[in-house]
Structure 1
């Protein structure tokens, strides 16, 4: 939402600049309409991309990232979004109420990691394993489980495979929960420190 608002702001500012330059050049400096339009488009484009570059530079400085690192994060976020959609689709296809709660919690944790990374890109490097390995494994397991569960005839071997896949998924969920904890561990430590300081202040009073 914030990215969309910033884009609309850049677009609006560039539009106002374009119109202003066009009118000033055509009426104020008595230039031809074609030439006025040309420099107006150049001016509007320059404002649009200057604002975009400024916003991105500010974001990079705030997160302590290089342009290359930021590009890596954005690429992985794009890929992760597609994987999360696949995971969600698989979970919705599993007609098993016993697993519904855990599936919901899994999606909640996965989406939390994704949205925290999107908001603060520097945290990506705290949970690289999640993006490069753990999420992939979770998606593959969920899709495999969905496929096996959809088979009409449940043989002993198929039932065993379903059970093993579900157990592996449960183990994977714990690993992903650890990823989230690793991502917000610094916040937890800071909060505990602030609580300790506040308690000491209260005790003195």
Structure 2
């Protein structure tokens, strides 16, 4: 279930509870409209929070993870998304097509890693360097390049620094691509196993579907075998 669907489910359950609690307290208990509203709002918050915790526990069990592990990965994903947005913010800060392409590629790869880990949190452990250092390095390099390219004076030393930063950004793309390959490795392996199983099933089906020789064909072969003997 997607986050938005979980949100709708929580509030779809909590809202009717609040709606039912308010008239019961106001008309039945006669505690006043303010107190009834406060208690009803409290029931809404409590039920929504309880359902959210249940969903969280259910997800962690589904991925065979502890609550603390799952919570830590969720935090890392949230931080990574914020850093990717910062990367995107550098798109149009410099007028360079090559620089724009580098940033766009880093953003594209980073988003793929985050998406795959979000779908299967256990893949986080295959890309820990991405979350702990590589994404930070990409962001720092981008900010450094943006700062340097914005300087009004472009002397020889600054131009060398800019070129070195561009080269390092290119290398950083390769590092991120390696992180993505690690995350995808389990999916590739699973796909390979599924293909092998499908091929085995198909070969077995084809073998069973081969036509068996009929009795007439067998008798015809026996008669043909006897002909040379009778002709003698």
- Calculate the TM-score normalised by the size of structure 2: 0.76
| Aligned position for 2:154 | 154
Q: Which ranges in structure 1 are unaligned for 5 or more consecutive residues?
A: none
* Pairwise CA RMSD: 2.4
Unaligned runs of 5+ in 2: 207-232
Q: How many residues get paired?
A: 203
- Comparing 2-11 with 162-171, greater Cα deviation is found at 2-11
- Between the aligned partners of 2:130 and 2:122, the Cα distance in structure 1 is 14
- After superposition, residues 11-160 of structure 1 pair within 5 angstroms as 11-24=11-24, 30-34=28-32, 40-41=40-41, 43-160=43-160
CA displacement at 1:143 relative to structure 2: 1.0
- Partners of 1:76 and 1:131 within 8 A in 2: yes
Report how far residue 42 of structure 1 moved: 5.0
Deviation of residue 108 (structure 1)? 0.6
Residues 145 and 202 from structure 1, CA distance in 2 versus in 1: closer, same or farther, beyond 3 angstroms?
A: same
CA distance in 1, matches of 2:43, 2:87: 45
DSSP 3-state at the match of 1:92: coil
Per the TM alignment, residue 165 of structure 1 is displaced from its structure 2 partner at its CA by: 1.0
CA deviation after TM superposition for structure 1 residue 133, in Å = 0.5
C-alpha contact 2:80 2:131 (8 A) present in aligned 1: yes
Query: Distance between the aligned counterparts of 2:157 and 2:36, measured in 1?
Result: 76
Mapped contact 1:145–1:162 kept (Cα < 8 A): yes
